Structure formats: C-alpha cells, structure tokens
Structure 1
Amino acid sequence: MLDEKLEPIFADVLRRNPGEDEFHQAVREVLDSLGAVIAKHPDYAEGALIERICEPERQIIFRVPWVDDKGQVQINRGFRVQFNSALGPFKGGLRFHPSVLLGTVKFLGFEQVFKNALTGMPIGGGKGGSDFDPKGRSEHEIMRFCQSFMTELSRHLGEYTDVPAGDIGVGQREIGYMFGQYKRITNRYESGVLTGKGLTWGGSRVRTEATGYGAVYFVERMLGTRKQSFDGKKVIVSGAGNVAIYTIEKVSKLGGRVIACSDSHGYVVENSGSGIDLDLLKEIKEKKRGRVADYAAARGAGVTYVPGGQIWDVPADIAMPSATQNELTAHDARTLVKNGVIAVGEGANMPCTPEAVRVFMEGNVLFAPGKAANAGGVATSALEMQQNASRDSWTFEATEQRLANIMNGIHDRCAEVADVYGSPGNYVLGANVTGFIRVAEAMRALGVV
C-alpha cells in the first residue's frame, strides 16, 4: 500500500499526466518504496522534493520532416525529456520505434534518473526518441531522417548539458549519422555530446556489450548471495537485439546455457546441448537484420521455432527479460515459478509488470529490477564520456573491469539499503531508495530549482 503522505503526490501525477500509463507505473513503483524512507527521514517529504523529482525539468516535442526515396515528404514526431540534472548533465538514450509517445519517453526518463544515480557517476537522467521506424527503410532514408532529427535536437544538447545515446532502433549507424549532423551544425568535434560512437571516432570499448554484460554481472552477484551461479544453469533470454545478444554471450562465458531467445514474431528453443549458436544469431540479427525465424531455418532440426506464443513457457532456471517494457505478465511469472525459475534479471527497462514482480517476490525468486540490473549500458556511456574528455582510449579488458566493478557496487549498495530498511533481498526497494536518496540529497543542496 502507498504511504498516506505519498498518496496526494501520486494523485497529482495522475492528474497532471493523463493517459500516460507507463509513466504512472514507473512513478508508482518508486513511491511504493519510499514509505519506509519518509518514516525514517520525514524531511524528505518537505519542500515538494518528491513532487519535483516526479516532474521533468524540460519536455521537448518537435516535428521531424524528411524525404523518402520516392521523393515523398514524411513527418515524424521527435521527443527529448530532460528529466533531472541534479547529479550532472542529462544522460539517456534515443529510441526510434512506432510505439514511442511522450508517456513512453517520460517513463524511460524517470527510470533513467534513478538508474544513473545508482552507477555513482556524475550524470543526470533524460530520454528521447521518435515514432520513426528504421525497419524496412533504406540507408539513405535513415540518414535523412537522422539528420533532420538532429537539426532540431542539436540546440538542446552539449557535453555539459545533455548527452544522448542509443536505445531500441538506434545503434552505431544512427548515432554516426546524428553525430555527423551535430558536427556540421556546430562546426566543432564535440565527441562527448553523444555516446555509443564507433571506436575509430570517439567510442568506447565494451559499450556495445555493456547492457547485456552488466545485467549478467548483477545477476551473478545476486545468485552468489545464495551460493549459486550461472554455471550449469538453463537460461531463457527474451529479445534478440543488442541487449539479448550480449546477455547470451556473457551467460555462456560464465558456464550457463541459453536455450531460448525471441523477437516480436516468435521464439526459438535450442534442442542441442550447447544452447543458442551465438555466432549464427549475430550474423542473422546484426549483419542481415533478420528474424529468429531465419535463425531457426539456418539451424534446421536443431531448433524448434514457435511463431507467436510466449518464451516464458519454456522451463528454465534463470530468466532474463531483455526486449521491452511490460513483456512479462503475472501469468508468465506464475508459469516461470511453477517451472522452477530461481532468478529473474531485467535486461530491458521495466519488462515485468508490477503484478509479475509481486509473483516473483512471493515465490522467493531472486529479482533484479532493470534500473539496477541494466545500468551497465549508461555506466559505460559515462566511461566513454571520461575517455572523450581526456582524449584517451582504454583497452577492452580495463573497461570491462570498470563495468564489472560498477555493477558489483550497484548490487552491494542495493542489498545493503534493503537490509537497512528491513527488507533483506528486496532489490526493488534497495534500488529505488538508493537512487532516490542520492538524487534527493543533490537537489536539496542546490536549493529550489
């Protein structure tokens, strides 16, 4: 139940942001964790501090006109929500997908504030994107869209102001086109203004792998609290994009066996003892931009392809939802618990519904929330900013070690705070409270701004 002091705050969020269900869900999840904090530190409820955290500093919506290969003018809508800069410049990805609406970007930006705070790095939280769909578009169309998008967005960016990165639909190709346009507009090589760049023009090693690797590091640390590990475990990973691919890679390196992955059209289950063929999956998804159905066709009898359906029906020891928000429902959670799952790690942003999270908690399943478990991507983006600022480039090994240390630190802080607030093993509470306190303390120090 929501603490009575927080009820009017949430009611005001609902009133001021009608129809934005995902944003409501993200705010409610944090507020649910703050009752114990307010009871212990009532001063956090003063000065409209929580209300200010729930209100973005700035919400930018703009038109993105561009010309397709047929010479037709297309119109998309662009967004950038600069949510909170108490800890540093706004930092968060850009998502290009038809489902992107203002409420989507606000939910992602709100989550990003706490995720970034958990890393311990000096970065605030923001998010952006467009309802543009790069799938099925030519290279020239994607370039023209990215250039038009950046023409407007550029006036709101800067390495000390706002530093976007990639997200769903935005990879190194799109970042390159946007960085090129930003450089052209500003007439300077400000490499710290975008992260996720190519290695030859200011990017960081491990950035491609960081979100997937980081989620696995967090879950491995979490499993260690029960004297377990990925070694010998059967794992299912939803999605087949960047996060999923590098989750699969790191799980395999730690001795786990990923037996299933998915995309929006269906899922595949490996019948062989070796698990998902990662090299083939990378070729299909990263080079050919194909579907998991194409992976199944290439693998032949070694794989079962299930069009539609739910990957969560596949029995496994560990589940890593790594596709998109609210993809795992209470029904799915009950199926996983029934099939003996021992741990769930969110690689995507808020992929489990609140009801699903409750099922896992009641079933004594170790649960790693996305704002903690998938913070590896933004942490490595901050490391990329460090390298850009010092005109330096670190080795893969050194960068990965920094990532592992950051993820282990996030885990340990979340676990410690959960203990302090009387809920051992509750990583949801630990992540929310840890992130909130760090942001709240900075905001109080800066005054009413």
Structure 2
Amino acid sequence: MSNLPSEPEFEQAYRELASTLENSTLFEKKPEYKRALQIAAIPERIIQFRVVWENDKNEVQVNRGYRVQYNSALGPYKGGLRLHPTVNLSILKFLGFEQIFKNALTGLNMGGGKGGADFDPKGKSDNEIRRFCYAFMKELSKHIGADTDVPAGDIGVGGREIGYMFGAYKSIRNQWEGILTGKGGNWGGSLIRPEATGYGLVYYVEHMIQYASGGKESFAGKRVAISGSGNVAQYAALKIIELGGTVISLSDSKGAIIATSEKGFTPEIIDVIADLKLNRKALSDLTSEYSSQFKYVEGARPWKHCGNVDVALPSATQNEVSADEAEALISQGAKFIAEGSNMGCTQEAIDIFEASRKEKKGSAIWYAPGKAANAGGVAVSGLEMAQNSQRLKWTSEEVDEKLKQIMKNCFENGLETAKEYVTPAEGEFPSLVAGSNIAGFKKVAQAMHDQGDWW
C-alpha cells in the first residue's frame, strides 16, 4: 500500500486485516489469496461530488459529498452515510473496507460501501438539514438503487435525515423502492433496527462469556463499561440491564460519566440521556441533577475511571481505546472487550489484548473486533431490505430471533475459523479478531474468484 496517498485510517484497517491473514496458515494453504487481497483493497468505484445548499439566511453553502462503492461480490453495496465535519476519503475507505467483511460475516447477500459528507448537522435548523439532504441526494440518487447500492444511517444520520433523503430520492426518481435502510416504521422500516447494533453487540458478547465459562456464566452480575451515548451505547446498556448486568459508564465527545452507586445506570436514566442527546445537550448536564449517583470526568474516556470492570464495550468512534487505556482495563479486571464502534481500539491496544489472551490462557482477556461484534446493525438493515423486497413487515419477535441467530453464527464462524487457521495453544482462547478477519475475507475472495475478478 506504500504507493497510495497518506490515508491513515484506511491504512490502519488494511494493515490490521493483512497482518492477520499473513500470520495465519491461509496463504500457505491458498497462496493465490494474496492476489485477492491486493484487488479487494481497491474500491470498485469512488464517487466524489459537491453539495450546494442554502442556509436560513439564504447564503450559499458548499460541502464535499462521497460514496465509496467498495465491493459488490456478495450483493448490492451496503453501508452507512456519515455527516460529520471530519469526514474524508481515508475515513470512508476504512469504514467501507471494514464493511465488506462485516457484511460477509452476517451471511446475508450484501456487498460493502460507505459514504457521507463533511457537513455538520449540529447547530443546523430542520430546514437547513432538509435542504442539505435534498441537495446531497440530488447527486447520490444517480448512483444508488435497491439492487445496486443501499445506504443506511451512521454518525449524524438518524431517522430525520433518512426521511429527508428518502423523500428526495422518491421525488427525483418518481419511484418508491427500498434504497435506504433505517426508514420510519410506517413507510418501510424494520422493527428492532434502531436497537440492532447495541442488541447484537450484547448477544455476541454473551456467547463469548458463555464459551469462556463453559456455559456457567452470563451477563448477570457483570460490571460493564460502555463509551458513547448514542443509539449503540443506549440500546446495549438497556439490553445488559435486562440481562442482569450493571452498566457503570457512558460518555460523549466532551467527557465520561461514571456511576458512583452500586446499581449503576437504570433504564430511567438511559431515557433521560436519550432526551439529552435528542436535544443536543452534553452528558455533564445529567450530573447536576443526579450528583449522588454519577460523576462526570471532563475531557476523558471512561476506561481509566470505571474501577473494577468485567466487560468493556467501546461504542463511540474509531481509535477510542489507546495502548495505555488497554493496560488500564486489564489492571481493572476486564475479561471481555468487544467493539460497538468501528475500529474502536488502536492497533497497539489490540496487540496488548491479544498478547494477554495468549499469556493468561484460562483467565485471558478476550477481544472481539467491530466487524464481528457490531454486525447486528447491518444485519437488520439486510433484513429490512428483505422485507421491502417482499412488501412484508415482520414482528419485533421475528426480527429479534433472526438477529440472535445471525450473531450466534457470526461468533461461531469466527471461533471455528480461528481454530482452523490460527491453532491456539492448549487452554488458550481462539483469536476472534483473526477468525473473523479470515472468515469474512475468505467468503468475499471466493465470490470474487467465482465471478472472474481474479484467478
């Protein structure tokens, strides 16, 4: 990858996958897969365009819009749209590259892609956001379709933005089709979609806990540190509480909020936090009313401040667990780390977790990468696509059962693949990061080969 312009986030994602494959027996058994990796690392298509819109003062504004259509070997391109001032091609390539293999692990027919713009919805009126979404979709609509590319939401793109974009597409193309997922429940959206990433994360980690304990333990009685306070963090927290665990932290971009009482966060407090987020307020506002139950640590992530912890779920953004924070989690007793965010841990942190997994054996730290652990969101997006295609609507129970099965399959696929290609030492847990990378890559590479992309 040395001949590419500097794209640090993408290069990190590529190196993480490539090093896993190279340190397994995959290339020994199938040396031709090296060529497949070189081809898969290059997107099939990158679309970049300008988005011109007017603010409430009738002043013309311009932003950069993108769609990276990375790989369609397994199905239509699938991946979120992100609206945030930090959006650039490196971030979208990293997210799209990860999305290819995440989607493969769900077992559904979805390729990988990602997109968005460097537009910041914060501080904008509803009318400004609507005008931006219509201008954005004016160009994006030329490149997507139910059988071509089906975007979803991501950071900065919730139900409101999806609604505006869907309305724009419909008016431009004069057709109703399931070209976006995360839609409203009464116009094509799936039940459980808002909860899916958080719920799926918890279902995945529950399999980790059960496997590690020989079926003797669950979330019941576990202390769980979570970062972030958006949809993923909120619904993961609610599911953990439902399963008997204690949630001890959440965070936002300005700092971390730590529970100081034994009961931790409650569903009622999570509802208060959801309202704060909806009204674009900071978590620090919570401590003024609930100072006896929580403390706020300004400018910090929770990992060094949560005390004794069994499970850590980074669920905010990329690279949110550093090497020293990984060491802090281990020293505080963490046994299970799983990413609710994409590439939530730095490579240095992953190396520390993986080294600990090997050294401590029976009492190992067990790490699960985002491409496996947070696949629940895109899995239910895939289920939404299926419902749209059939003009059906499944019940919450039906969708939740399908989600549970997908996350179970995702865990077992990574587990068994790790055993096959990275033989663990006696008493050592298999590497879920290696197993997930290899399983996702193999599936995509074989489909590309069958379709003549390499031979």
Counterparts of 1:43-62 in structure 2, within 5 Å, are: 43-45=32-34, 48-62=35-49
1:222 corresponds to: 208
CA deviation vs aligned residue, 1:334-379 (integer Å, no higher than 9, x gap) = 0110111111010000010011011111222111100000000000
The 1-side partners of 2:58 and 2:27 are apart by 58
1:308 is matched by which residue type in structure 2?
Answer: G
For residue 317 of structure 1, report the CA deviation from its aligned partner. 1.2
Query: Which digits, 9 at most, give the CA deviation of each residue in 1:112-140, with x for residues without a partner?
Result: 00000000100000000111111111111
The answer to whether the Cα contact below 8 Å between 1:261 and 1:269 also exists between their aligned partners in 2 is: yes
Residue 209 (structure 1) aligns with:
195
Report the counterpart of residue 450 of structure 2 in structure 1.
445
- The one-letter amino acid of 1:80's match is R
Deviation string, structure 1 residues 197-219 (Cα, Å, up to 9, x no partner): 01011000010000011111111
Alpha-carbon separation, structure 1, partners of 2:179 and 2:346:
34
Given residue 215 of structure 1, which amino acid in structure 2 is its aligned partner? L
Residue number in structure 2 paired with 1:384: 384
Query: Is the 8 Å Cα contact of residues 115 and 435 (structure 1) preserved in structure 2?
Result: yes
Q: Deviations over 1:292-314 (max 9, x none)?
A: 11222232322111111231012
AA partner of residue 160 (structure 2)? R
Residue in 1 that maps onto 2:282: 291
Rounded to whole Å, the distance in 2 between the matches of 1:407 and 1:59 is: 30
Q: Residues 311 and 250 from structure 1, CA distance in 2 versus in 1: closer, same or farther, beyond 3 angstroms?
A: same
Displacement, 1:286? 4.5
Partner AA of 1:208 in structure 2: P
Deviation (angstroms), 1:272 = 2.2
CA distance in 2, matches of 1:285, 1:244: 14
CA distance in 1, matches of 2:2, 2:155: 27
Q: Please give the alpha-carbon distance, in whole angstroms, between the structure 1 residues aligned to 2:191 and 2:371.
A: 22
Q: Does 1:343 align with 2:336?
A: yes
Q: CA deviation at 1:280?
A: 3.4
| Counterpart AA for 1:440 | A
Matches within 5 A, 1:101-250: 101-190=88-177, 192-227=178-213, 228-250=217-239
Q: With the length of structure 1 as denominator, give the TM-score of the two structures.
A: 0.95
Match of 2:3 among 9, 15, 32: 15
Deviation, 1:285, is 3.5
Aligned residues: 433
TM-score after normalising by structure 2: 0.93
Please tell me the residue identity of whatever aligns with 1:434: A
| CA distance in 2 between partners of 1:57 and 1:403 (Å) | 29
Question: In structure 1, the residue corresponding to 2:141 is in which secondary structure?
Answer: helix
Kindly indicate whether the alpha-carbon contact (under 8 Å) linking 1:217 and 1:404 is maintained by their aligned counterparts in 2: yes
Q: Secondary structure at the match of 1:385?
A: helix
Cα drift, residue 281 of structure 1: 3.2
Specify every segment of 5 or more residues in structure 2 that has no aligned partner in the other structure, as ranges.
358-364
- RMSD across aligned positions (CA): 1.1
Q: AA paired with 1:428? A: V
Bigger mean CA deviation after superposition, 423-432 or 259-268 = 423-432
Paired with 1:419 and 1:280, the residues of 2 have a C-alpha distance of 42
Paired position in structure 1 for 2:361 = none
Aligned residue identity for 1:367: Y
Q: Which residue of 2 aligns with 1:403?
A: 403
Kindly, what percent of the aligned residue pairs are identical?
Answer: 51
Mapped contact 2:198–2:231 kept (Cα < 8 A)? yes
Secondary structure (helix, strand or coil) at the match of 2:113 reads strand
Q: Is the 8 A contact 2:228 2:250 kept in 1?
A: yes
Contact 1:281 1:295 in 2 (8 A): no
Maintained 8 Å contact 1:61/1:79: yes
Give the equivalent residue in structure 2 for 1:413.
Answer: 413
In 2, distance between residues paired with 1:131 and 1:268?
A: 28
Q: For 2:158 and 2:92, locate their aligned partners in 1 and report how far apart those are by CA, in whole Å.
A: 18
